[in-house]
Each structure stands twice: as C-alpha cells, then as structure tokens.
Structure 1
Amino acid sequence: MPSGSPTSGVGRVIAGRYLLLRRLGGGGMGHVWLAHDQRLACEVALKEIVFGDPAEPGQEREARVARARAEARHAAGLRGHPHVVTVHDVLEHEGLPWIVMEYLAGAVDLRDRLARSGPLAPAECARIGLAVLDALTAGHERGVLHRDVKPANILLAPDRTGAPHGRVLLTDYGISVQPDTGETRYTMASALVGTVGYLAPERATGGPPTPAADLFSLGCTLYHAVEGRAPFARDSPLASVTAVVTEDPRAPVRAGALEPVLRGLLTKDPERRTTAREVEAELARIVTPRSETYPRTRTDLGSRAPWDVPAPLAPEAAAPGPSGAGHHRRPRALRAVLAGGLGTVLALGGAWYALAGREAAGGGSAAPYGETVGLVEPLRKGDCVVAGWPGGTRFTGTPRLAVDPTCADEAPDGQVVAFVPAASHEEARERGPALCEERTRELRDRLADVRGLAVVPAPDGFGAAGRRTACLVLGAHGPVYGPLGDRRRPGTAFADTATMQRRDCLEVRSRREARLVSCEGPYDELVLGFTRLGEDVTLAGARAEADTACAREVPPRDYGFDPSDHEAGAWTSEGPWKSGTHLVVCTVRRQNGGTMEGAEP
C-alpha cells in the first residue's frame, strides 16, 4: 500500500523493533501510530513521515524529511519538561525518518475535547494556558519557536491521580524553527507556515517568526477553548487570513476573567502584545485566586417572587437566593453533571431547527411561509411569536406561528432576532438555516435554555416574505415570557428568569423585584451563568437550595472575583418549574451590599 494509508502500517515492524498496532491520529507532517517496543516491552508512539503523492518533487521530500528530523531535535531539547511530549529517538526505516515518542494512554487533544464536550470554563482554560505557556517559554529560552500552537497540538492526558485531563502537553514541533542558530529553513519564506486562523498577523504578512507570534497563537487557542470557536474562523482560508490581519476578534461571550488575557494576547501589534510574564501572572490569578474559601449566603425562605409584577403572562416568579458565583461575564454552557445528579443537559446555546423544505406547496397561496405556518404577513425583526406544535411536542413537525405584537398578551415562545436575505427561494432554503444559526449564536449562548428556528419562505411566498429567512430564538422547553436581547428595555422588571442573560446587570429593588440596568453605571448583581436543580426539588425548595447550588456550580474564583469581597446570588422563577428544567440563574454581588460598576473584577 502507498505510504500514508491509515491501515498500511498495522502489523509492520519498524527498524526491527517497533510493532505498529493501530493508528492514533495524524496531521500535515505524518501519521502517529501506537507501537509496541519489542526490545523494552512497552508501548510508544511513532510518528511516520507521510507523502501523499509518490511523485512529490525530490526537493520537497528532502525538506519534509529534514523538518521531521528538526522536530525530533527541537522536542528532544525539551526532554523532561512536564508539558512537552517526550521524544525518545529518531530513526530511519526504508529511507524515511520515524520519531519515537512517549505514548500517553487515554490522551485526547484539545480540539477533540472541545468537539465532544463543548467550550471549557475560564479557569480550566487558564490552567491549560499556563501549562502551554510554560512549554513555549522553555522553548523560547532555547531559541525554539513552535509556530503551530493550536488545539490539535495540545494533548490532555490522565495524571497520576487519575484525573482524565490532568496532564497538559504541547506536541508537534514539525514546523518549529531556531531562527538565531543559522539552521536551514525548510519552508519557503513566501509560504504561510502555521495553521490558518491561529497564525499571528505579522506572520500572515510575511514577517519573521518570534516568541510574540507563538503567544498570539496561544491567544487564539484559549479563545477557541473558552468560546467554542476560533476568533478569526471564517468560511474560507483566505477570509480567515484576512480577518487575522484586518479585523478584531469576535467579542467573547463566555470568557469571564479570561477576557483581558485574550485581549492582550490577540493584540495585532507584536510590540504591544502582552508578554509571557504578564500572561503567566494573569492566568495564575484565575487558576489560584487570592482566597481559597468563599462565603455562602442563605436564601430568605420567606421572600416573595422577585418578578411579582403585573403581567398577565408572567406566572408567579421566583425567589432570589444569594449564592452562586462567578465572574462578570459568563461561564461556558451548563455543566454536564449538575446539581441533583441529573444526566440531562439543557439546550444552552441551543440546537438549531429549520422549517426549510418542511412546508407543503401551499396550493398557489402567497402566504409568506406556507399554509402550515399560517402567517399571512411577513415577520418583522423584534416580533414576539407564539408557536403551536403538532401534538404539543416542541420542535417536532412544523409549528403554526402567531405574532404577539405586545410581547405580553400571551406568553411568547420566542422572538424574531435577525433576517438572512437571499436571491432565490432555493438559496434561502439551502443557506438560510446555517446563516441564521451564525447570526443568532451569540444571543443563544447567553441564554440558558433556547433553540434557534429558521423560518424559510415558501416557494410561492418568497416575495411576500421579503426575500429573506426569519431567524427566531425560542425557548427550548417552554415560553420565554418576554422580549430577548437588545429588545429588553433598561429599567424593566423581569417577568421570568427565561429572559435573563449572561452579563446582565441587575438592580435589585427588593427580594421581590430585579430590573435590567446598564452595566456602565452602578448595579447590584451581575448574571454569571446557570445551573439546574434535581427533578424532586420543588420551587419552594429551590429557594432554599439555589444559593448553595450556584456557589458550587458557578464559583466566583472561576471568573476572577475575589471570594473575600464577593458572594454568590441566585434567582429562580416559576417558568423553569412548569417546563421541568428547574433552571436557576446564578449571579455575583458584593458581600457588603455595595454596588458594582464597570468591568469588574
């Protein structure tokens, strides 16, 4: 079989010593195999050079072989470092080099972990960042630049205690270089060396590799880890490179205390970029805050619902319970295992649901979205909608929609938050749902329990619909009880926790009432995230348990708040108990009752 086939090596013995067992993974430089060292009777990882085209020019083959040798040499120079994968040897077999490395049983790379589990909490990202920074710094002190820092090159392996991701190791020095040693460069100066989307702007424009460029790539990696996507990811490699050079990164939503670190690392000008020493201090502060203990406050069991406001829609709303904590931004999605031991994860950030292609032809009707949806007028941005689902099961079949112009006459299921124009019905059907998903992602990420709904024009109603797809955000398990996002008016009392978002600043007038206020002025509490209570917990019981659950699941030290100055808060409402989600909103406030203001902490 040709070199590079994923199964071509199983059962082969390399250099008379290493029996290839199975393929572990691969990248641009080669395949990585699990192998048995027959001499020492242990398992190792072998990296095989790969040539996809047997007719590849000899000069390029020589360059890639030389790069493999350089990788082994550079990584071996960092042998023994706790955060660098150990390289044991480099050997030749059938004229090609193989790199013998330590095998990390149970390891997963950061890219795969994010794909499986979603974004990480800021504190966990800071821990990973500290380890990678330590490895990079050790290399920089030896004059070795990595040049390809990205999630796929960070391995998370079990530590000695058995923690599944306790060890953090940087790997793949395949395109690293020692610029001050005069060693041969194995890539053309005009070529982009690195991974698009993680490449520093000065490298994308042809500048020399520097330690600062590695730090920029680290910033992109940490951004991806905490936000769930790379800061400059676009639809094409060219667009991504252009974004790296000319655009600011997307405003982070989940980063919390990590946000200033990301801002410093992603500075375009390498001369103004945060230094390794500064990054280390900031990350260490997030991982190990000044105080390891934090106060727990109790919910007032006699308190009334905080959103007991006159609104025909709003059921009795909830009781706030101080406790729960976090940072002034937001944690990642709901924890996979939450209070009460429930195994179900809520739809935080939301799955997507599209009506494209689900409508009947409509019998020649010019109804914008087809007869089944039932609307005779096109949707407008900000419209609150009530959805009737076939059989009463949400997000099953095609809903019949009605507009609630007041967002209060009925309990709205959601709201129109964006539109996607199209040149034809076919384009709307093919591209509308994906573009709606992108346009509403930030809002959905900031709400606790929502899903997206793309309402695509019917073939005969394309013109009547304004030649565009309507992008809705709906409650995943029940109504949202009011406007969402920037449609909420400052000063308005919340009717239900369903409309509370991460980063919301609250004015707490009493234990019965919380109002949305601007974060530029003083405020009493800041929404950090969400957790949920067990199925057997009643709403009355939640008022006693919410503070403790929030303090446990959304601790302030994860988000940079000093636990000696701040405490957690919690708000509940009747809506999550009617839907069965038992969601609790977690906030942070000052212990002394003083107001907060600006970009805290």
Structure 2
Amino acid sequence: MPSGSSTSGVGRVIAGRYVLLNRLGSGGMGHVWLAHDRRLDCEVALKEIVFRDAAEAGHERDARVARARAEARHAAGLRGHPHVVTVHDVLEHDGLPWIVMEYVAGAVDVRDLVATRGPLAPAECARIGLAVLDALTAGHERGVMHRDVKPANILLAPDRTGAPYGRVLLMDYGISVQPDGGETRYTLASVLVGTAGYLAPERATGGAPTPAADLFSLGCTLYYAVEGESPFERESHLAEITAVVMEEPRPTVRAGALAPVLRALLAKDPDARLSAAQTEAALSRIVTPQAEAYARTQTDLGSQPPWGQVPAAPTDPWEYDPYGTATGSPRTIAGTNGSGPAVPTPAEPWSGPAAPAGFGSAPPPAAEPGRRRRERSYALRAGIACGLGLVLALGGVWYALANRPGDGSGGSGSPYGERVGLAQPLREGDCVVADWADGRFQGLPRLVLDPTCADQAPDGQVLALVSAASADQARRLGPARCEERTRELRDKLADVRGLAVVPTTEGFEAAGRRTACLVLGAHGPVYGPLGGHRRPGSAFADTATMQKRDCLDVRSRRDARLVSCGGPHDEEVLGFTRLGADVTLADARTESDLACGREVPPADYGFDPSVYTAGSWTSEGSWKNGAHFVVCTVRKQNGGTMGGGEP
C-alpha cells in the first residue's frame, strides 16, 4: 500500500467530521473522495495526499504538504467564481493535509467526455473556452497562474436548464503559483511542474509561469476537445515535451472556425500569442456568430458529431442546449435533497421514495460573466467598422424585432414576457403552478399563482428576490445570484431544482427591477410551502416538503407535523435515499426502513445504535412522478419521545 494512503476506504472518518463514501478518482497528488460532512449535513469532495512509497514520503512530504496548502489558499481566493470549483477548507489528519472542496454532482471532465463520446463541436469548445478563460483571467488578476490547464482539470456538469454539460468549472490549483508573491515554488525532484503535451514552450525550457503560458495550455486543451487528441501527442512524455518546444501542432481537421484561434494560441513565441481579451473576442464570435450580423461572411462552425449538433438559436434565451439532449432532470447524488412541511391534499399523503437530485449550475452562455466584456467589444467593433449611424440603425432593427407580437419578450405590462405570462411581479413566498410547454425545465414555464400554496398542488415557490441596476445586469447576474440565495435550502430538500425568472428589458421596471428566485420540484409538485414559509405545527401534505433536520411530531403513519427540534418530537429527518424504478409503492412501505438504515444510518450522525434506529417516510406523489425518493429519519427504538439533547 502506498505510504500515506488511507488504511481504510469507505466509512473512514476524517478529522472526526467527514465520512468517506466512495472514491471519485485519483491523480498525481492523491485520491479524491466523496464524503459526508456530519457537521453541515451535506456532501463534499475530499482530496487525500498520497505518497507512492516511503522514500518519496521522506523526501517530498514537506513539498506536497505545502502544495496542498497553496492549492487551498489560491482556490479559496477565487471562492464564489462561477467557473472555479470552490475550496472550503484545508485540514490535517494523521499528519497529512486533506483539502475540502465543493462536490459537483453529475460532473464529467473534458478528457473523459471526449474519450467516451468523441470530439466536441467547435462552437461548444468555444463556449467551454470562454468559461475557462474567465476563470483564468480572475486568477491572473490576483497574480495566480494555474500552470496545469488540461482536459482532465475542466469539469462539465448539468446546469439549471437541464443541459447535461452546461456548467463549466476549472479545478486543481495544486501547482498554481504567485510568481511575485514571495512563495516557494514547490516542485517534485527532476519533474517538470505541469502536464507534458500541455506545457507552454517557455515553461518546458525553464521559463517563469505567466498568463501567456496558461493561454497556451488552454489552446492545447481546446485542440484536444475539438480534434480528439492533443496537438503534441506522442508515445512518451519526453517526446511530447520535445514536440512542444520544437515542432508545430498537428493540422486541425474538425476545428472549423476554431482553427485560427487555436493556431494563434499555440504560437511558440508568447509575445505572438493571443492575449486574454483577444481570445475572448475570437471565441465569442464563434459562440454567437449572430452578434456579428455586420460581418461579411457567416462563421463556419466546421464538422460536428451527431451528439454535438448546436440547434438554431431558440426564441427564448433560456432554452439554449448546446447538445440538443437536455432532459427534464439533472443527475442525482445520494443524500442531497428533499423538502419541508406544508399544506393539505395531494392524492394520498404518504407513499414514495426518491433520491437527492444534483442541482444545476451555471446559466446558459447568455448569463456568463464574460458576456459583459464581449458585448462591449462587439459594440466597439461595430462602431469602428460601420460608424454611429449604422449602430443606431441596427439598434432600431433590434428594437423592432424584440417587440414583435408573440415573441415571448412581452411588453411593459408583462414583467417576465408573454411566455411566463404573469401580469404582476412575483413576490417572495408566492407559490406557483408551472406549465412546461417543451418538457420540465426545458426553457421557461408559464406560471400561475396559487395564493393558498395548497389549492392547486403548487410546483414551487419564490424563495428570494435579487435586485439589479439594469435589465442587462439582471440577465447576466440574476441566475447566479439566485443560485447562491437558494443553495442552502435546495441542499436540504430531496427532489428540487432552482429557476431564475428574469424580467425582460421592457418589463424590468414592472418587475420591481428584481429577478425572482424559484425552487421547484424536480419531477413534480412540492404540494406546499418550503423552508421558512412553513408554519410550525402544520401537517405535511407530501414528503416533497420535508427537509434535512426537520423534527416531526408523528400522529400516525399518515400524519406528521413540523415541530421545533428544541422541544419534544418523535423523529428527525437525516437525509434521503432512492428506491429502484421497479419497486412499487406498496413494497416501498415495507422496504424503506431497511434502505434508510443501510444508506443513511443514524450512527453516521452521532446517534447511539443501541438506542436509536432508522425510520422512513414515503409518499404517493414521489411514486406518481417517478422520483421514488424516501425520507430517512431517526427515532428511538422503544418509540419514546426525543428531546433537544440529541446529536
């Protein structure tokens, strides 16, 4: 066994807080685990430092420990960036550091995606490139160079629209460095820092890390994504490094409009390479060629694999799905969602299992942070090329098109456009019924208010409102701010997703200059109010509104009430699990306690197994919509009342 690796795997508790669930992958620094955080009751990713042998542990231990701390510090400096994997903490266990990171449900890295599904379309590569560039630029502005941009360090995950690869995240700042920060540059003896085949020539020959070097690595990464192989791929690492320094990249075959961008990024001379601003402008033209309406020729997107076809731009900007394969539900991650108490009347209150659904991510390209700079660069180029008169003319055409009847943009009396259909702005706490014309979470739904949060089995509720200075700012920042404002609640519910309802340009004032942040059932209604809008003592109409750490007063197996955990209660919600599609509701009612005892054991939450046991709740609503989730609870074995002193 490698020195410094874990002596046990699944079930090991790190620092008395994190329970290892399963290994997600391994790399040069060690292993990455999915873990459960007992204190915050959520899933995280833990990076474990591993030494290959005792000799390495002796010679390289200090360097690896320091690198782990540097990774946590550099990544934490970019905390909150929409395209960087968040680092929460760095801790020591058994003398070795562990890095606590955001766990991204349903994610796949670009290397594995291309290996299993083939090269990506040029426009999709450009979209990914813009997101990674935005992350790199944020680091460069802080003086941090990544130094290891490669396909394996770029994650693609489902976003809130259901697009399976809509969210783009840069990870692994393990060898990043601040050249002017007075830091020691931690390297392994006789090993270049970085990945052969993706190193910039100046780095391969001993030069200092610079933003231009990161851009070269980005060019290699995008080349791999669109061509299916590295531009300098050879039989050995030494041959790859030699090729990077001495040879030109292989000619592109599939790159289409991306080819000249790749050539400019892969220039041997860093001074001849595209700058970050030039790269952003070039990639933007590929992602949104319609923005270059004044250009003389149509951008050629090049060859595209069948699964990578980019559909024509939809009427509604939220319908963008780069693969044309968006489904109504995101990938799931065990033990992450559920809901809370609520109103009366679904069909039959108790009956169903379902698992935690991973929630979206980043908004579609229209909402990415880099768009503001792209729009400015478009306007500047248009002004230089065509003059103020043409700009005004194009503005008039845009205004006329944007206000055509029936285009979904709505007029001044419709805050969110004709598609959403509301005449009045949404308010916090409003319950809504959603009608999805093209399938659940495909585009925007038509919304109808349910004033009682009960009469129409509401699909969800407005949990927050975020203000903006302009309609453009609302479009760019509203979805990401809604994501943050509703994240904590969504983590506590079994089967929900977030949705930002952004005002149109014409309806911005009518909407109160605010974006409405909704939490909706991922597969069906939530049957009542959520979170803080639930009243203590109210009966749960369905398990969809039960949330982690809810305490229950159980009147019968069909009647549970929300009560304070500080007082007497019968059960406490710990998490959720999912039963198979072939399990009937009747079978679920007999199997769910055992499933919860196996998947969400109370002992993992500090409850003495000699006193406490696993309980469960199922509901008909979850079985009707196919989610099949079970709410897992803890209760006393003797059926006694629990108090405020439990873990």
Q: TM-score w.r.t. structure 1 length?
A: 0.50
**TM-score calculated relative to the size of structure 2:** 0.47
